[in-house]
Amino acid sequence: MGEVAGPVDYIFYILILVSIYAILAVSLNLLVGMTGLISMAHAAFMAIGAYTTALLVTGTGMNFFFTVGIGMLIAAGISALLALPSLRVKGDHYIIASFGFQVIIISILLNWPSLTRGPFGIMGIPRPRLFGFTFASYQSFFLLSAGLAIVCSLVAWRVSTSAFGAVLRAIREDEVAAQSLGKDVTRFKVLVFVLGCSLAAVAGSLYASVASFIDPFTFDIAESIFVLAIVIIGGKGNVLGSVLGAVVLIAVPELLKFLAVPSAIADPLRRMLYGMLLVVFMRFMPSGLLPERAGR
């Protein structure tokens, strides 16, 4: 379960969480920020990665890194299935449909105990191993998660600055216009949806390995909303913004929890803060902390 020796380890634990949510945020940003597809199902795709890794590693002893790949493939497959028909609908209906996917996917995880152990979750998920080295300590795990976060951010950044990304932005601004310019809008939307959801699965695999325990409730709608808040507050369409958003929305409240003690109130108070930030940002800083052109 990882040797835990003191407060320094706890700080690394927080940094690991930041890197995991950074992956979630940059991948959701591809959908929400760049393409204007508001998805409420990101936590469900994180769950797919988490469960794939958890089940394969505890059940068959497969190496973590292979499970990440498999998790991405499964997430890609499911998202492709869901993407094709649902992308015919617009705006509010799309959001509600993604809501529906989130609930259905979690419902399946919850109510298929023979596969997923249902509400009891999966425990005792071991740390990843590579060529004989186990990422047991929080410090070493952080190297892994930060590394993967950097890779995912680079992928997102590459998309953002490429011609592909330009088309995505065009779709966000005016889908009809983009269509009239001869771009196969549906193909672009499906591709970005599949990419975003696959990266979410990577975050899930990481989370399962560091938390050592997952259950369907870990990935509920509140998680999806939380990642959405990170993307919006960090700055939609800005990769660095998503990372910054993750830092702000996770690390700062955690460090404060470190000092303060009334945990009964701290959690809802923290979420009130997210809500307030969303409202305030939409009114005064809708482009987020780092606006689109700044860090791409």
Name residues contacting other proteins, limited to 106-125 (CB under 8 A).
Answer: 107-108, 110-111, 118-121, 123-124
Nearer to other proteins, 10 or 164 (CB): 10
Binding region for other proteins (CB under 8 A) out of 68-76, 96-104, 185-193, 194-202: 96-104
Among 10, 129, 157, 296, contact with other proteins (rule: CB under 8 A): 10
> Restricting to residues 194-253, which ones interact with other proteins according to CB under 8 A?
211-215, 217-218, 221, 225, 228-229, 232, 252-253
Smallest separation, CB 154 to other proteins (Å): 27
User: Pick from 150, 155, 266, 294: which binds other proteins (CB under 8 A)?
Assistant: 266
Which one of 64, 101, 188, 193 is in contact with other proteins (CB under 8 A)? 101
Among 52, 79, 86, 238, binds other proteins (CB under 8 A): 86
Q: Tell me the C-alpha to C-alpha distance, in Å, between residue 184 and each of 35, 56, 240.
A: 14, 37, 29
Query: Running DSSP on this structure, what letter comes out for residue 125?
Result: P
Number of other CB atoms surrounding residue 91 within 10 Å:
9
Side-chain half-sphere CA neighbours of 234 within 13 A? 33
Q: Which residues in the 14-73 window bind other proteins by CB under 8 A?
A: 36, 38
Task: Give the integer Cα–Cα distance in Å for 284 and 276.
Answer: 12
Residue among 129 and 270 whose Cβ is closer to other proteins:
270
Tokens representing residue 156 in the block: 């997102």
Q: Taking CB under 8 A as the rule, does residue 1 contact other proteins?
A: yes
Measured between alpha carbons, how far is 15 from 247 in angstroms, rounded to an integer?
8
Shortest distance, CB of residue 275 to other proteins, whole angstroms?
3
Alpha helices in the chain (DSSP H): 7-29, 42-60, 64-86, 91-111, 113-116, 138-161, 163-173, 175-180, 185-211, 221-234, 239-246, 252-259, 263-284, 292-295
- Tell whether residue 95 is a contact of other proteins (CB under 8 A): yes
Q: Smallest distance from the beta carbon of 285 to other proteins, in angstroms?
A: 5
What is the rounded distance in angstroms from the CA atom of residue 161 to the CA atom of residue 296?
A: 7
CB 295 to other proteins: min, Å: 17
